[in-house]
Amino acid sequence: MLPKIRLGKRSPLGALVSTTCLSERSDHQGEGGGGVTPVPPATRPGPAAAMGKIKLHPGQKVYVHCSSCECPGVVEQHNHVDNQVSVFLPHLARHVLRKTEDVWTSPSAHLFPSPSPSTSTCPVPTPARTVSSCIDVPRRNAEEVDMDEMMAAMVLTSLSFSPLLHSPKHTDTPAALGMECPGGELSDSGSSGYWSVGHSNGSPAPSPPMTEADSGLATPSDEGLDMELEQVLFEEPVLRKRKNSMKVAYRCLWPSCGKVLTSVVGIKRHVRTLHLGSSGEHERCSRREEDFYYTEIHQREHQARPPPPAHLSFSPVAPPCAPWPGPSSPPLAMAHSDRTLPGDGALPEPAGDPGDGGPQASLLSKSAPSDSGSSLWQVRSEHSYQGAGAVFRVRSVSVGEQWHQQHSAPTRTTPASTSPPRCHWPSRRVRGEAKKCRKVYGIEHRDQWCTACRWKKACQRFID
DNA sequence: CCTGCCGGGAA
DNA sequence: TTCCCGGCAGG
């Protein structure tokens, strides 16, 4: 059967784990699953220890006594040294630690006199045995087993660090993931997948590739160590992945702060520790508040394409001096992603280190610490008052240049997130560097100028 | 000097 | 409101 084969290939634990899931889910399903379903008479329930060499693999289904009931569980970890097995009981949503001899790989006979799962007293339909105890699993040589162990150890290690990282659902309902064992293609995200498959099989996306914003929203309960680890383990690669297209930073919106950090966890920590305070219960309560005190800002690293406007997150309180004309204008202005940009459009390269400040640092956050040099990051919002001008840039003959200039004259932009007083604005508009209608069309084609240019007003067509 | 554009005035 | 232009300021 295809899923089974696929599972076996994809799972670092091999068919041992995945067939456990499969047999549990689809008992008597075709010849693939059927091969494991009939209970051999030789199967005898007993402690794993009694089985001698039986090794409990992560993800393997076992039975333990818990609350006067023999409950099925899934092996999390088998510590051969301590002779202990960490078992997860999905329908109790509990993790228990048992001695190896207290763990059964099959349901005990008195509780499960019949192979039929319907007689089970436990809520979860229980197969009569597990694969390892009843199936003649080909013994692999020592190296392979060691590889499995190493794999499992690595997987479990990473899981134990921060299961929250991989899917928020795991936080709340591990049981569901552990035992529901969704069918068909998805079955490897069931019990076996929960433990290992997603992370160690080299799958391109163990968890959906989250943007920092996503992760910020999706893992609101992250804190402390988890956040650190998230940053170390996952965020850094994400940032690196983005490097070729866009860098994202987060700006603290706290009044008179303006700290910009490159990681969502960093900014959250900053907000929490510096502004919200981090004392115990309050931390819990205010955790989500952190989201309101930072904003995501984007900076193009290379001129591959402009940032998707949907990623721009603006502060709920827009500065009164830079009203946003409408939600569509800025995206229009930035949506011409297919343009090729002139080679001279070298942007100040943040070089991954937010510390090397750009010239705009002082304007963007006067009170921010030194690393606010990353205030190269910016949220563009200034064009707002120029209204429909942005749309005209579609037919600009030098949109690339416009765009470049747009991004290279940031001193005149003010992040929508921060709300600086108007005094930050120069009384007179800084001379734009883009080619204006006059230059583009020439004075002899004055009729093609935008009206603003014709009126000697700020050009609306080629906005800086 | 050229250019962009603000401020203000005329229609 | 539309249109125009004097004048300022940056390059």
CB A346 within 8 A of CB A329: no
Give the three-class secondary structure for A196: helix
Chain C positions within 7 A of any protein Cβ atom are 3-7, 9-11
Could you report the per-residue pLDDT of A359-371, keeping only the tens digit for each? Answer: 333 333 333 333 3
Residue with CA nearest C1' of nucleotide C6: A456
* A369: CB partners within 8 A, 6+ apart: A259
Q: Stretch A338-343: mean pLDDT, rounded?
A: 32
Distance from C-alpha of A193 to C-alpha of A205, rounded to nearest angstrom: 13
| Interface residues 408-437 of A with strand B (CB < 7 Å) | 427-429, 431-432, 435-436
Closest C1' nucleotide to A457's CA: B5
Which position has the higher pLDDT, A155 or A450? Answer: A450
Give the three-class secondary structure for A100: helix
Name the burial class of residue A192, with classes exposed (0-12), middle (13-18) and buried (19+) by CB atoms within 10 angstroms of its CB: buried
Q: Which segment, A65-69, A70-74, A338-342, is predicted with the most confidence on average?
A: A70-74
Amino acid making up residue A385? Y
d(CA A410, C1' B7) / Å = 25
- Identify the band that residue A334 occupies on the pLDDT scale cut at 50, 70 and 90: very low
| pLDDT above 70: residue A326 | no
User: Which residue's structure tokens are 């900076």?
Assistant: A299
**pLDDT value of position A270:** 78
| pLDDT above 80: residue A393 | no
Residue with CA nearest C1' of nucleotide B2: A439
| pLDDT above 70: residue A166 | no
d(CA A453, C1' C1) / Å = 17
Closest by alpha carbon to A63, among A156, A130, A136?
Answer: A130
Buried/exposed A275-309: b ≥16 CB within 10 Å, e otherwise: bbeeeeeebeebbeebbebbbbbbbbbebebbbeb
Q: Stretch A375-396: mean pLDDT, rounded?
A: 35
CB A181 within 8 A of CB A21: yes
Q: What's the whole-number average pLDDT of chain A?
A: 48
**pLDDT value of position A272:** 76
Name the burial class of residue A204, with classes exposed (0-12), middle (13-18) and buried (19+) by CB atoms within 10 angstroms of its CB: exposed
CB A148 within 8 A of CB A14: yes
**Angle, CA of A415, A418 and A424, to the nearest 5°:** 75
Could you report the per-residue pLDDT of A174-202, keeping only the tens digit for each? Answer: 333 333 333 333 333 333 333 333 333 33
| pLDDT above 50: residue A229 | no
Token pair in block for residue A50: 């009694």
| pLDDT above 70: residue A330 | no
Q: Any long-range contacts for A418-425 (C-beta under 8 Å, 24+ apart)?
A: A418/A251, A418/A253, A418/A258, A418/A315, A418/A319, A418/A364, A418/A365, A419/A315, A419/A317, A419/A318, A419/A319, A419/A320, A420/A319, A420/A321, A421/A321, A422/A320, A422/A321, A424/A363, A425/A321
Could you report the per-residue pLDDT of A414-425, keeping only the tens digit for each? Answer: 333 333 333 344
Distance from C-alpha of A251 to C-alpha of A239, rounded to nearest angstrom: 16
Which position has the higher pLDDT, A18 or A453? Answer: A453
Q: Is the CB of A456 under 7 A from strand B?
A: yes
**pLDDT value of position A438:** 82
Distance from C-alpha of A146 to C-alpha of A418, rounded to nearest angstrom: 55
| pLDDT above 50: residue A259 | yes
Give whole-number Cα distances, A105 to A17, A19, A50, A82, A458, in Å: 13, 14, 10, 19, 78
**pLDDT value of position A76:** 79
d(CA A303, C1' B3) / Å = 28
Give whole-number Cα distances, A342 to A170, A320, A400, in Å: 47, 35, 6
Q: Stretch A18-44: mean pLDDT, rounded?
A: 34
Token pair in block for residue A291: 């989201």
**Angle, CA of A329, A324 and A413, to the nearest 5°:** 90
Q: Stretch A282-302: mean pLDDT, rounded?
A: 55
Least confident segment among A43-47, A48-52, A268-272, A392-396: A392-396
**Angle, CA of A436, A441 and A446, to the nearest 5°:** 95
**pLDDT value of position A52:** 41
d(CA A450, C1' B10) / Å = 21
Which position has the higher pLDDT, A266 or A180? Answer: A266
Distance from C-alpha of A390 to C-alpha of A64, rounded to nearest angstrom: 67
- Identify the band that residue A269 occupies on the pLDDT scale cut at 50, 70 and 90: confident
Distance from C-alpha of A136 to C-alpha of A128, rounded to nearest angstrom: 15
Closest C1' nucleotide to A452's CA: B5
d(CA A364, C1' C9) / Å = 24
Which position has the higher pLDDT, A233 or A81? Answer: A81
Q: Stretch A163-178: mean pLDDT, rounded?
A: 36
Closest by alpha carbon to A56, among A38, A34, A74, A82?
Answer: A74
Torsion A138-A144-A150-A156 (CA) sign: negative
Q: Where are the domains of chain A?
A: 2-200, 212-434
**pLDDT value of position A152:** 54
Chain B positions within 7 A of any protein Cβ atom are 3-8
d(CA A453, C1' B8) / Å = 17
**pLDDT value of position A68:** 67
Q: Which segment, A13-22, A231-240, A246-255, A259-268, is predicted with the most confidence on average?
A: A259-268
**pLDDT value of position A292:** 65
Q: Which segment, A75-89, A188-202, A232-246, A406-420, is predicted with the most confidence on average?
A: A75-89
Q: Could you give the percent of chain A with pLDDT greater than 70? A: 22
CB A319 within 8 A of CB A425: no
Pick out residues whose CB falls under 7 Å from strand C: A 428, 430-431, 451, 454-457
Residue with CA nearest C1' of nucleotide B7: A457
| DSSP sequence for A3-16 | HHHHHHHH-TTTHH
- Identify the band that residue A206 occupies on the pLDDT scale cut at 50, 70 and 90: very low
Q: Stretch A26-53: mean pLDDT, rounded?
A: 37
d(CA A436, C1' C5) / Å = 19
**pLDDT value of position A463:** 74
Return phi, psi of residue A202, to 5°: 70, 15
- The DSSP secondary-structure symbol of A344 reads T
- Identify the band that residue A429 occupies on the pLDDT scale cut at 50, 70 and 90: low
**Helix pair angle (A15-25, A2-10), 10° resolution:** 150
Closest C1' nucleotide to A463's CA: B4
Give the three-class secondary structure for A204: coil
Token pair in block for residue A117: 């799962």
d(CA A427, C1' C8) / Å = 12
| pLDDT above 60: residue A213 | no
| pLDDT above 80: residue A347 | no
**pLDDT value of position A42:** 34
| pLDDT above 60: residue A59 | yes
Distance from C-alpha of A51 to C-alpha of A53, rounded to nearest angstrom: 6
Token pair in block for residue A4: 């089974």
